[in-house]
Structure 1
């Protein structure tokens, strides 16, 4: 009887915890009807453009978590604080075209007099439970209060390290409009955003913005889902196109032919930011290695490559600084310029001579 009682208490507690708003809401109603009309939504799930098993080997996520728990964790996290600079974003001239990496896959961008924020995560944990995915010391210099009014908030997909409930909630008064992938708008609606200001796109959709800007929703090779339900919302990359320049942000993505197709469609990019951290042979199709990211940058016709999905969280079993070392080596003979700013350090898009130090050494 005591065992049954304990099991009941645990089940009830788990159910109650899952009602927290951070878990969001799955698409329903008209939003689900729109999703079901997508050519990429098949048999109740979004599908990648090419076959993409989430795991390379026939094994369970639980077995991988247990394997990681048993393995040596030395080097997965830095011993000292990650260096950063807290640029005063309010004081920046909005007419200066700038990209500022905020750690992992978060960016503050100024383009054609408009302000963008991509995948902002200012929480110390990017996981459903505390301490499960804790940010490196020194990587969270910014809070929502440090962010000026944002014209456009862009979110690539619903994973915890890209869609952070406390951050999104705190930013609500500063955000003009939201652009994200099909289904992800359900989270924003549950979290109190005006549905009229939340725009969802399928792969290859485009939106006309103010100041002559265009926003393109583009394919990625990944998956979605915050807990047990997967692929009910789409995962995307973004291209920002102004009269003067083009920028590309891959979101989370494995390597695939979509990069060359995007590069040919847009005739190259002034700057691309590509997922190249958290790679692992056990999930080789859903994140790129640094060498694959270097190849993707050339496929895209990039003038400048900015590393992404690195420097803040440890999700894979490689030393935290290894992605920076490998992308530096892989870029030595490539035709693009590699930029490696510290968190908060502006990249001035008009300055092609700007250089950055190997701060991870």
Structure 2
């Protein structure tokens, strides 16, 4: 019996080692030359990227055990009882679109932004499971996407906030890479895309507060309070960020993943006010308060960046925490009403226009 158990454990360990080392999902590793570039960043220290303030990310064994049990235990309403309804987008109407700036939400933190006759994808995670293997994560709340990746038109640019699986998906990048012009991301994330077959000359990496221009648009890499990593031993080896997207007439903010901190006020003072802000609101827990915002903090952050309208993101697609799947939207709408800031909550696939009165907020999640 002991020998049999030892053999089984050995096989499991060997399979895990082979999977981690051979699976392309885990991405690439920085070369010594690339690390020398990172050394110039104020956010890079002792071989890893750091937040502006000390952030507690390591749970005790007791809290970790509670989190795993809480996640695995069957709880009411942590996932929808039926597939979330998705508004389908016509591929021709997307390809030929030349109207006012609009966004189409794919759930969680993924968007198609159509601005100045350009197509921009933000954190394009279109996979079914936010994990390196389908057995290691929960499935998307909806079977369909607003439009299949294969039917998307040419994408002028992709913005990536960090390298976690629910924001940077290997399968999605594989399907997208031949139809994308340029990929923009914070420092270090490019090593994954290079490992996945994308030439370095199509990858632009920025540090916090660095800016670049793209065919009349401004992309500005801004701070976030979070962390990164895709495998064992690579935590904080790449940077995480938020993004500012500016045209001649519009100013848009994308928070990425972030805990609530002073950087939102700094961003508002430097780049605000914003016409529209996509603000993280989901996958929170009292055991990791520094790296994800609670819904009430989402609203405060929207005020800090001086946003005219906010949209809660990072919810509506995956179960990554123990709260009910509607808790983010219920709490953020309540707090937004209290603090008198306009909040927009579209259905997945519904067009979002920067102009308007927030009529998309029709409480579809209750239906």
TM, length-normalised to structure 1: 0.94
What is the aligned partner in structure 1 of residue 49 from structure 2?
46
The 1-side partners of 2:240 and 2:62 are apart by 22
What is the aligned partner in structure 2 of residue 83 from structure 1?
85
Query: Is the 1:99–1:348 Cα contact (8 Å) retained in structure 2?
Result: yes
* 1:102, distance to aligned residue in structure 2 (A): 0.8
SS of residue in 2 equivalent to 1:324: helix
The 2-side partners of 1:64 and 1:152 are apart by 41
What is the aligned partner in structure 2 of residue 337 from structure 1?
342
The 2-side partners of 1:358 and 1:24 are apart by 39
Q: Is 1:227 aligned with 2:231? A: yes
* 1:354, distance to aligned residue in structure 2 (A): 4.3
State the Cα deviation string for residues 23-42 of structure 1 (Å, max 9, x = none).
Answer: 11121132222112211111
State the Cα deviation string for residues 221-271 of structure 1 (Å, max 9, x = none).
Answer: 001001222000001110001110100000000000000110011131000
What is the aligned partner in structure 2 of residue 110 from structure 1?
114
Determine which of 277, 287, 290 is the counterpart of 2:292.
287
* 1:100, distance to aligned residue in structure 2 (A): 1.2
SS of residue in 2 equivalent to 1:207: strand
Determine which of 51, 54, 60 is the counterpart of 1:58.
60
Query: Is the 2:342–2:358 Cα contact (8 Å) retained in structure 1?
Result: no
What is the aligned partner in structure 2 of residue 128 from structure 1?
132
The 2-side partners of 1:49 and 1:39 are apart by 9
Q: Is 1:37 aligned with 2:40? A: yes
The 2-side partners of 1:66 and 1:96 are apart by 45
Determine which of 15, 18, 21 is the counterpart of 1:16.
18
> Per the alignment, do residues 199 and 351 of structure 1 end up closer, same or farther by CA in structure 2, a change over 3 Å counting?
same
Query: Is the 2:284–2:292 Cα contact (8 Å) retained in structure 1?
Result: yes
Query: Is the 1:237–1:249 Cα contact (8 Å) retained in structure 2?
Result: yes
> Per the alignment, do residues 202 and 307 of structure 1 end up closer, same or farther by CA in structure 2, a change over 3 Å counting?
same
Determine which of 210, 214, 217 is the counterpart of 1:213.
217
The 2-side partners of 1:294 and 1:79 are apart by 28
The 2-side partners of 1:72 and 1:190 are apart by 38
CA RMSD between the two structures: 1.8
Aligned pairs for 1:105-254 (under 5 A) are 105-131=109-135, 132-138=137-143, 140-210=145-215, 212-228=216-232, 229-254=234-259
State the Cα deviation string for residues 160-219 of structure 1 (Å, max 9, x = none).
Answer: 100000001000111000000111100110101111010111111101110x21000010
Query: Is the 1:101–1:344 Cα contact (8 Å) retained in structure 2?
Result: yes
TM, length-normalised to structure 2: 0.93
SS of residue in 2 equivalent to 1:117: strand
* 1:45, distance to aligned residue in structure 2 (A): 1.2
Which runs of no fewer than 5 residues in structure 2 stay unpaired? none
What is the aligned partner in structure 1 of residue 269 from structure 2?
264
Count of aligned pairs: 359
State the Cα deviation string for residues 270-305 of structure 1 (Å, max 9, x = none).
Answer: 000111111100111110011000000001111110
> Per the alignment, do residues 69 and 262 of structure 1 end up closer, same or farther by CA in structure 2, a change over 3 Å counting?
closer
Aligned pairs for 1:270-281 (under 5 A) are 270-281=275-286
* 1:2, distance to aligned residue in structure 2 (A): 4.6
> Per the alignment, do residues 332 and 181 of structure 1 end up closer, same or farther by CA in structure 2, a change over 3 Å counting?
same
The 1-side partners of 2:317 and 2:72 are apart by 22
The 2-side partners of 1:4 and 1:78 are apart by 41
Which runs of no fewer than 5 residues in structure 1 stay unpaired? none
> Per the alignment, do residues 139 and 322 of structure 1 end up closer, same or farther by CA in structure 2, a change over 3 Å counting?
farther
The 2-side partners of 1:61 and 1:41 are apart by 29
Query: Is the 2:217–2:247 Cα contact (8 Å) retained in structure 1?
Result: yes
SS of residue in 1 equivalent to 2:119: strand
* 1:17, distance to aligned residue in structure 2 (A): 1.2
